[in-house]
Chain A
Amino acid sequence: MARIVVVTSGKGGVGKTTTSAAFGAGLARAGYRTVVVDFDVGLRNLDLIMGCERRVVYDFVNVINGEANLNQALIRDKRVEGLEILPASQTRDKDALTFEGVESVLNALAETHDYVVCDSPAGIERGAHLAMYFADDALVVTNPEVSSVRDSDRVLGLLSSKTRRAEQGEEPVKEHLVVTRYAASRVGKGEMLSMEDICEILSIDLLGVVPESTAVLNASNAGVPVIMEEKTDAGQAYDDLVARYLGEEREHRFLTEKKGLFGRLFKG
């Protein structure tokens, strides 16, 4: 049986899809059979970020409606062995996802994979609720700003009350904090919340900090999960994150400002 991992945030545009793609690719690279499921029906872009948008024939909603079977809808990644994606529909809305439909698709995926990564839509409505409902683990993606932290806090409340595990009184969903778009220089100037503040407010384990990086946009334009760009800071940060998730201990590398050329010159 697979572990089901939801990537969620409440607030939009904080890096859920970027994280889902990188995390899924990282798990597959580590040898786990992994599928990333796009729950953002109507605004699909996981397939874009993973560079397989031209190969989408059937989608999640087609499978739920019985118009295609899972094998027809799953897209195999061409670069990473063992990585698949289940795209969302671009033409439907989130009401097309039914509780029973989602449950049966996730059950089927769980039988043939080690990890099922659910890329949640923003918000706390139906789509986000369905994406988190069956989760065993949650990556809560947060940017270092007050509104994003507040929304993540709200989502943590839902994870502990509105999920299958909560409702059935099982062991709670394991919550991991992922801070993305972190800019140490702006924290220094007081323009952003510090890691310390974020961890204190949310009081859950920190899984990874991904720096604000141009590599993310470049990678998504190229349709490559940024974790594959091994020379980039964001790529390395996601690599660390996956390793930590799998139980390895790694230091957080991107908490402090990198010394640029000027920094080094003036240090003397």
Chain B
Amino acid sequence: MAVNQASGAAFELKGRMATLTVLRLLTADPGHLFIQLDARLAQAPGFFDGMPLVLAPGQDVSLDAAMLETLVAGLRDRGLLPVAAADVSEDIASAAGLGVLRNLGGPRSDASGQTGRSGSGKPVAEARAPENGAARLVTQPVRSGQQVYARGGDLVVSAPVSAGAELMADGHIHVYGTLRGRALAGVQGDVNARIFCQSLEAELVAVAGHYRLSEQIDAGLRGAPAMIRLRGDELGIDAL
């Protein structure tokens, strides 16, 4: 019995990609922040409950340990889950019970759900951020360097997606064209999200943070219609 326990693996470490919401602090005054945050939360009661957050000071804001502790306590009171801080020293973060994230890139999404990478390659202009649950439709090719995010719903692309382009959706992703870039479905953690494409040539596919690189995609599945979904912990790819 004791022998069995010793030989069976008790855990695994796996690299996962996850999309986290960043709370960028544009003021050093927690009271000021909470007034505005409460107004926002009142508009969408329950929507932010349990949302993991990364706290990151804005450009001209510097944080001290006391401020960070006040912030963390206040956020937890409101049902949010601060898990880490970016761009602060380890002492300050650990005093507030947070981990430190390094190399956090620019914000992945702004209020309209669109981002451009390093200021270039704007997402396709015709698409507007959907209301919660609505699908976002893109009819123009998504080119290298462009990024399209369907926040709160599905993403439908009726054109090719180039290598070097990136699709993200909280829900499913459909590509009626060749998918050569990256596609990340269920980026807020929806394990039931799926990716469908007419021709699978992707650099990377991911569902709820579980990903596969192109070299991990069976050659027999490439260049053909495919569906990608999570089966338990495994990312499965089926020919369609």
Cβ of B115 under 8 Å from chain A: no
Pairwise interchain contact A154-B122, C-beta atoms closer than 8 A: no
Pairwise interchain contact A161-B141, C-beta atoms closer than 8 A: no
Cβ of B146 under 8 Å from chain A: yes
Q: Which of B140, B145, B160, B180 contacts A154 (CB 8 A)?
A: B145
Known: A124-B120, A201-B180, A203-B159. A160 touches B140 (CB 8 A): yes
With the chains together, A156 CA to B146 CA distance in Å? 10
Q: Which of A157, A166, A169, A200 contacts B143 (CB 8 A)?
A: A157
Pairwise interchain contact A161-B159, C-beta atoms closer than 8 A: no
Q: Which of B122, B124, B125, B144 contacts A153 (CB 8 A)?
A: B144
Pairwise interchain contact A156-B125, C-beta atoms closer than 8 A: no
Tally inter-chain residue pairs, CB-CB below 8 A.
51
Residues of A in contact with B, size category = 10 to 19
Q: B residues 103-122 with Cβ under 8 Å of A?
A: 120-122
Pairwise interchain contact B143-A154, C-beta atoms closer than 8 A: yes
B164 to chain A: which residues have CB within 8 Å?
A: 150, 153-154
Cβ of B162 under 8 Å from chain A: yes
Cβ of A162 under 8 Å from chain B: yes
Shortest C-beta distance, A157 to chain B (Å), equals: 3
Known: A150-B163, A153-B164. A161 touches B144 (CB 8 A): no
Shortest C-beta distance, B224 to chain A (Å), equals: 15
Known: A154-B145, A156-B141, A158-B120. A201 touches B162 (CB 8 A): yes
With the chains together, A166 CA to B121 CA distance in Å? 12
A157 to chain B: which residues have CB within 8 Å?
A: 121, 142-146, 162, 165
Pairwise interchain contact B144-A154, C-beta atoms closer than 8 A: yes
Shortest C-beta distance, A131 to chain B (Å), equals: 15
Shortest C-beta distance, A33 to chain B (Å), equals: 33
Q: A residues 124-155 with Cβ under 8 Å of B?
A: 124, 150-151, 153-154
Chain A residue at minimum C-beta to C-beta distance from B141: A203
B165 to chain A: which residues have CB within 8 Å?
A: 157
Contact with B along A164-198 (1 / 0, CB 8 A): 00100100000000000000000000000000000
Q: B residues 127-155 with Cβ under 8 Å of A?
A: 140-146
Shortest C-beta distance, B147 to chain A (Å), equals: 10
With the chains together, A158 CA to B163 CA distance in Å? 15
Shortest C-beta distance, B183 to chain A (Å), equals: 17
Known: A153-B143, A153-B144, A201-B180. A160 touches B124 (CB 8 A): yes
Chain A residue at minimum C-beta to C-beta distance from B199: A200
20 interchain pairs, CB-CB under 8 A: A124-B120, A150-B144, A151-B144, A153-B162, A154-B121, A154-B143, A154-B144, A154-B164, A156-B141, A156-B143, A157-B142, A157-B145, A157-B146, A158-B120, A160-B124, A160-B143, A161-B122, A161-B124, A162-B120, A203-B160
Listed in ascending order, the chain A residues whose CB lies under 8 Å from chain B are: 124, 150-151, 153-154, 156-158, 160-162, 166, 169, 200-201, 203
Identify the 3 closest CB pairs spanning chains A and B, nearest first.
A157-B143, A161-B122, A153-B144
